[in-house]
Amino acid sequence: MEKHHEIKIQIQNKYNLLPKNQQKIADFFINNFNRIPFLNVQEISSATTASVASIVRFAQRTGFTGFSELREAIAESLQSRISKKEIFPLFEKKKIDKDLLTSVANLDIKNINETLSLIERNSFNQTIDLVLKSKRVFTAGLGISYLLAEILSYQLKQVAVDAYSFNHSTSVFHEQILFLKPDDLFIVFSFPPYSKETIESAKLAKERNIKVIAITNKEASPVTFHSFLNLVVKSENMLYTNSFAAISVLINAIATACALKNEKRAKQILDESNKITNDDEQFIK
């Protein structure tokens, strides 16, 4: 695991044990991780409305001798990351085009570029291993996340994964969590405005020893404090909604990786599905 990710995990693991004012500091550190080496303790105090002493105590509670050591560790981790960082060859225009279609496309390209940089490859690979090793995979979300959860479930079924999406028509999520077992996997989609029900379902699943993977827009979103792994996806949009271009790329990547790692079984399911389709008179041949 890369050092910068270890520090974030270290902060997140202590989050629920922190006083409320220090949780606010933790949120600031996680969401502004790349900026921390360039800020002094007074600037962070001003941004978080927390006292300098609270920031020092926060650093100590998360395993460091003080603010200076925490900032230095973050700086070293970022320096290491920059030296290894890949350059992603997607096109991004700096000037916003007057053509709305082009402007929307450019924003989605930016989302995809940033997502490629944000997602930890170790977390992605662990996700694939968990999907393939779990007895069943369940997905959940509300709003646009409901549709995304269904798409991921559908894509996984296509590559021979026993996957199901939680429905919200006959029962609420926490009722469905009760039927999950420790060898199942729970993947939740959580994007602004964050659904309290989705977050509570992740919390309940964790309490029942079910591994939770969160697909969300930032590393300190509410659901991440109940998840085993987080896949962070940029979803900025010109409207007051979430763009799902980068999320779709991630869903497709998960399904593709599962298919490649379980190629024989995926091909068998595909062949059987095509046979059923070809034999069904309801489809045009």
Tokens representing 97? 């085009």
Q: What is the pTM of this model?
A: 0.68
d(CA 162, CA 138): 9
What topology does CATH give the domain 3-84?
A: Arc Repressor Mutant, subunit A (1.10.10)
d(CA 241, CA 237): 6
Sign of CA dihedral 38, 116, 187, 123: negative
Count CB-CB contacts under 10 A for residue 170. 7
| Closest among 225, 226, 224, 244 to 235, alpha carbons compared | 244
d(CA 215, CA 233): 7
| Closest among 185, 175, 82, 206 to 131, alpha carbons compared | 185
Query: Would you give the end-to-end CA distance of the chain in angstroms?
Result: 50
Q: Which residues, at least 6 apart from 227, have a Cβ–Cβ distance to it below 8 Å? A: 188, 202, 206, 212, 213, 214
CATH assignment of 103-272, among 1.10.10.10, 3.30.870.10, 2.30.300.10, 3.40.50.10490 = 3.40.50.10490
**Rounded average pLDDT per 10-residue block, the chain, 285 residues:** 74 89 91 87 92 94 92 82 50 54 86 88 94 96 92 93 89 91 97 92 96 93 93 84 89 93 73 62 53
Domain ranges of the chain: 3-84, 103-272
- Helix (H) / strand (E) containing 149: helix 144-158
